């Protein structure tokens, strides 16, 4: 069993049942989460006997770095190997003095968005909380070694976070808690393709981190055709969940909107988006699309993008335009699909 599946109390119980001092549990917990060691032998303030006892009963299943590729813009994609042989990807995205980690929460994805490279992998399994946390820990360390102030984490890599809810929440507890990295939840953004009931659950759980929704169209017919999840939770249900979320948490979510030529970038699409956003306070990130190998879609033409923005701004919407980073290494938005899994 992976020892990181145990709570502090579980470790205490294990120790007392094995005639060891309960206070050692705190030390072990610190090695596991704060120092993120890869083996019991590194737990240097424990006796050899205790380290052997842990070795006998538990595994650590650390994630290992399999490959790293650095883009010309400094963006670095890391392939992490999981203990059972699967690989997932995380990305370090530097900007001036700061750095953001984009991390994965599932190996593959069940949702099958038509524009997404991860979707082509199918679904293998969800990641454990420690596999998620370790990606963050590694990218944070790498960012600091390179002189960046590690500032943000986005759960926007491979997989749908809301379909791995418990492990996402547990990983965030460690990122924000005293036992882990002690970062502010305001520096974390969790993204969803729009699993409406889970957005309500986030609100009921009174989360303090930021929520992003991959919207990509405010017209049901179009969204159905590019995001099959819309057939299960359509725009009306999504809107209702967002109204609930905003009312309960008081925070303003973000819509992510990839602009794809001839698909969702017409003036009618922009007007539908503006209308849809009337129900709640929201920020809009318009993202330049990066076609991947064998892609059906293209990025929006410059003039279409400009007109789209003009319509939204004319309706007083808060719009950010994001140019994708790390395009030359397939680390840009929607491109994470470790070729080693193919």
Do the beta carbons of residue 152 and residue 98 sit within 8 Å?
yes
136: left (phi over 0), alpha (psi -120 to 50) or beta: alpha
Q: Is 89 in the site for ligand SF4 (CB under 6 A)?
A: no
Q: CB burial class (10 A; 0-12, 13-18, 19+) of residue 173? A: middle
Site string (233-262) toward ligand SF4, x via CB under 6 A: ------------------------------
Choices 56-64, 112-120, 200-208, 264-272 (CB under 6 A): range interacting with ligand SF4? 112-120
Q: Is 111 in the site for ligand SF4 (CB under 6 A)?
A: yes
Residues 6+ away with beta carbon under 8 Å from 65: 78, 79, 80, 81, 138
Residues 6+ away with beta carbon under 8 Å from 85: none
3-state secondary structure of 340: helix
Site string (114-133) toward ligand SF4, x via CB under 6 A: --x-xx--------------
**What is the C-alpha to C-alpha distance for residues 9 and 151, in angstroms, rounded to an integer?**
31
**What is the C-alpha to C-alpha distance for residues 58 and 300, in angstroms, rounded to an integer?**
52
Both tokens of 123, joined, read 């679904």
Q: CB burial class (10 A; 0-12, 13-18, 19+) of residue 106? A: buried
Both tokens of 133, joined, read 């946390």
By beta-carbon proximity to ligand SF4, the closer residue of 78 and 107 is 107
By beta-carbon proximity to ligand SF4, the closer residue of 20 and 256 is 256
Q: Name which position in 8, 51, 112, 225 contacts ligand SF4 (CB under 6 A).
A: 112
Q: Is 193 in the site for ligand SF4 (CB under 6 A)?
A: yes
DSSP 215-257: ---SSHHHHHHH-THHHHS-HHHHHHHHHHHHHHH----EEEE
Least separation in angstroms between residue 230's CB and ligand SF4 is 11
User: Among this protein's residues, is 145 annotated catalytic?
Assistant: no
By beta-carbon proximity to ligand SF4, the closer residue of 20 and 265 is 265
Least separation in angstroms between residue 102's CB and ligand SF4 is 12
Q: Is 113 in the site for ligand SF4 (CB under 6 A)?
A: yes
Site string (143-172) toward ligand SF4, x via CB under 6 A: ---------------xxx------------
Least separation in angstroms between residue 110's CB and ligand SF4 is 7
By beta-carbon proximity to ligand SF4, the closer residue of 159 and 291 is 159
User: Among this protein's residues, is 237 annotated catalytic?
Assistant: no
Least separation in angstroms between residue 99's CB and ligand SF4 is 22
Contact positions vs ligand SF4 (CB under 6 A): 109, 111-113, 116, 118-119, 158-160, 193, 214, 334
What residues are annotated to the active site?
89, 333
């Amino acid at each position: 069993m992976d020892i990181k599946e145990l709570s502090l109390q579980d470790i205490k119980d294990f120790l007392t049942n094995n005639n060891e001092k309960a206070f050692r549990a705190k030390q072990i917990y610190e090695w596991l989460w704060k120092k993120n060691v890869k083996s019991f032998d590194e737990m240097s303030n424990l006796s050899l006997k205790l380290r052997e006892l842990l070795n006998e009963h538990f595994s650590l299943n650390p994630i290992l770095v399999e490959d790293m590729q650095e883009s010309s813009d400094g963006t670095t994609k890391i392939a992490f190997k999981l203990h059972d042989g699967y690989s997932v990807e995380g990305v370090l995205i530097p900007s001036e003095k700061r750095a953001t980690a984009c991390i994965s929460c599932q190996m593959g994805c069940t949702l099958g968005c038509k524009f997404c490279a991860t979707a082509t992998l199918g679904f293998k399994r969800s990641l454990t909380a420690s596999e998620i946390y370790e990606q963050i820990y590694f990218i944070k360390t790498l960012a600091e070694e390179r002189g960046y102030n590690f500032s943000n984490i986005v759960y926007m890599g491979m997989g749908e976070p809301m379909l791995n809810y418990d492990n996402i929440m547990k990983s965030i507890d460690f990122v924000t808690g005293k036992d882990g990295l002690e970062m502010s939840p305001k520096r974390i953004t969790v993204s969803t393709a729009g699993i409406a009931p889970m957005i309500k659950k986030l609100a009921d759980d009174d989360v303090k981190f930021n929520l992003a929704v991959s919207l990509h169209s405010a017209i049901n017919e179009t969204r159905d055709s590019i995001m099959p999840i819309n057939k299960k939770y359509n725009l009306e249900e999504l809107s209702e969940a967002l109204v609930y979320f905003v009312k309960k948490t008081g925070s303003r979510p973000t819509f992510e909107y990839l602009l794809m030529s001839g698909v969702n970038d017409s003036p009618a699409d922009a007007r539908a988006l503006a209308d849809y956003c009337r129900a709640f306070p929201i920020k809009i990130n318009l993202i330049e699309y990066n076609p991947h190998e064998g892609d059906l879609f293209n990025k929006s033409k410059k003039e279409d993008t400009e007109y789209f923005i003009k319509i939204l701004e004319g309706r007083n919407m808060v719009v950010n335009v994001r140019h994708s980073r790390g395009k030359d290494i397939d680390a840009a938005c929607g491109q994470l699909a470790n070729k080693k899994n193919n």
